[in-house]
Structure 1
Amino acid sequence: MLTRAWTRLGLPLVGLAVAVGLWSLGVSALEKSTPIGAAFAPLPTVLALRELVTGSDIWLHVLLSLQRVGVGLGLAIVIGVPLGVLVAMSKSFSGAAMPLFQLLRMVSPLSWMPIAVMVLGVGNAPVYFLLAFAAVWPIMLNTAAGVARLDPNWLLLARSLSATRSEIVFKVILPGITADILTGVRLAIGIIWIVLVPAEMLGVSAGLGYFILDTRDRLAYSELMAAIVLIGILGFLLDYLARAAHARWLHLKR
């Protein structure tokens, strides 16, 4: 029992303590050449973080960012799951489209920022596009891998019972690959959360990325560091929820 508690709580706390220690040493070294570096130290950051989370302004930025994450992820799921099923079920489509998909997948989503703003204008639309573009590939590839791993006898049985193509997809394929889709969603959330902040630094007036720029312009460096820590905590919680959903599905499936 003690060993399990140490593994689940003790070791992570030790890792965090080591990280904070290295953080403090790094700031101390930075102060020698840049006195303003003291504002990035752990203690001022914790004090600024406490003020942030007890205020109301930061939560407006958080809610807007989470809304953009939800919309971008939803678009990626709506696009990526059908594409993944089609890639796995049609050799002709896979042969024609996969080279293009692999090429696009290797293009950084942030490189599309100038074109997205030029075509879609400023505001939420280009951010939604960038997030969906970043998230669609892991969802599509995991969906295709899930379909490829399905037992062919399931599909043969469905066809022998005169199931239509839509019935095969919605009643056989999608339930059978839900775990793979959830894995893709978890990977997509991690990518979206990384792309979100720089995407919000262009053309929007609220959100965590905008807040980072605002703290820089106000020279509120402790607040800036606190916002970075908050972004990390929120990203960890999103990943935890995605892992919990995946584990819950596997438990129900068993």
Structure 2
Amino acid sequence: MSTRHSRDRPRPRAVPAAAARGPAPLARPAAVLAAVLAWWLVCDVLARDNAVLGRMGPGPTAVAVWDLLQERSTAVNAAASLRRLLTGLALAAVAGVPLGLLLGSRRLLEHATAPIVAVLRTTSPLAWAPLAIVLLGVGDAPVAALVALAAIWPMTLTTAHAVRGLDPAALQVVRSLGASRVEVLGTVVVPALRPHVLAALRLALGIGWVVLVPAEMLGVDSGLGYAVLNARDQLDYPRLAATIVLIGATGFLLDRLLQPPTRTGGGR
């Protein structure tokens, strides 16, 4: 009898050796090296006689990056960009999360406003730049507003989707125990939405960082976007390439800060 039961038991699935070992440790360094080689091939071999690309190869760019890191203006520009980015993200979160809660919990309202939301979220935030400058002047305010316009829709739509996915049974149990709306929000809704909001914030950060750089080319005298424009006006193409590298590296680090920690270990 016991032999028969043992035969009927499902056998544990074998884990492939590659999955058990995890990603190859040299995969990312190899990909980075391949990208640098492609960069060198384009700038230093194929376009070496070009007045622009011929001066933007890995060698001159690396020297320019080192020079930039030693200049105080680089820290000032990075701080200005981060200040505007965080202000825009804060505005997007303050407006987008409540709007997502409202749309996700009111099907009729979401259905009625769907065309308006679609038009607004597919309009480039930079199209609002002239109006933002007219209404808010020049400086940090219009740049932060453009970042907020870009970041609000990931926050809103992700929150609305998460609200629609809430377990109705859990909400019903809490309500049957006499919980108020505020208590339902604090005990069920907020804990369930937290990972979704963090994921939306990571997505909004990437979109906001992309919008921030061109927005800083409009009427400001600091920021990494302004540094790109300034290097172009001075025809300093190695410095232009170095600034682009710093913008990408900063965006990468910001994204890593919001990336959820990976679980390790073989426990259940």
TM-score of the superposed pair, with normalisation by structure 1:
0.91
Counterpart AA for 2:69: V
2:249 pairs, out of 228, 233, 246, with 233
1:214 pairs, out of 203, 227, 230, with 230
Cα distance in structure 1, aligned partners of 2:223 and 2:20: 39
| 1:8–1:194 Cα change, 3 Å | farther
Within 5 Å, which residues of 2 pair with 1:140-151?
140-151=156-167
Residue 90 of structure 1: CA displacement? 1.1
Residue 225 of structure 1: CA displacement? 0.3
- Partners of 1:52 and 1:58 within 8 A in 2: yes
1:43 aligns with 2:43: no
1:232-251, CA deviations, whole angstroms, 9 ceiling, x for partnerless residues?
111111111111xx3379xx
For 2:47, the equivalent position in structure 1 comes to: 30
Secondary structure at the residue paired with 1:195? Answer: helix
For 2:174, the equivalent position in structure 1 comes to: 158
Secondary structure at the residue paired with 1:201? Answer: coil
| 1:156–1:203 Cα change, 3 Å | same
1:109 aligns with 2:125: yes
Counterpart AA for 2:48: E
| 1:29–1:80 Cα change, 3 Å | same
1:172 aligns with 2:188: yes
For 1:194, the equivalent position in structure 2 comes to: 210
Secondary structure at the residue paired with 1:188? Answer: helix
Aligned length: 247
Residue 92 of structure 1: CA displacement? 2.5
More divergent stretch after superposition (188-197 vs 118-127): 118-127
- Partners of 1:145 and 1:180 within 8 A in 2: no
Residue 42 of structure 1: CA displacement? 0.4
1:126 pairs, out of 134, 142, 150, with 142
1:185 pairs, out of 183, 192, 201, with 201
| 1:23–1:121 Cα change, 3 Å | same
| 1:248–1:156 Cα change, 3 Å | farther
Residue 142 of structure 1: CA displacement? 1.1
Larger Rg: 2
Residue 5 of structure 1: CA displacement? 8.6
1:247 aligns with 2:261: yes
Cα distance in structure 1, aligned partners of 2:61 and 2:95: 40
1:86 aligns with 2:102: yes
Task: Name the structure with the higher helix share.
Answer: 1
Cα distance in structure 2, aligned partners of 1:85 and 1:2: 42
Where does structure 1 lack aligned partners over 5 or more consecutive residues?
Answer: none
Where does structure 2 lack aligned partners over 5 or more consecutive residues?
Answer: 1-16
Cα distance in structure 2, aligned partners of 1:2 and 1:99: 47
1:179-205, CA deviations, whole angstroms, 9 ceiling, x for partnerless residues?
111111111011011101000000111
More divergent stretch after superposition (118-127 vs 197-206): 118-127
Cα distance in structure 2, aligned partners of 1:29 and 1:241: 37
Counterpart AA for 1:142: T
Cα distance in structure 2, aligned partners of 1:237 and 1:102: 31
Secondary structure at the residue paired with 1:31? Answer: coil
| 1:164–1:2 Cα change, 3 Å | closer
Cα distance in structure 2, aligned partners of 1:172 and 1:215: 51
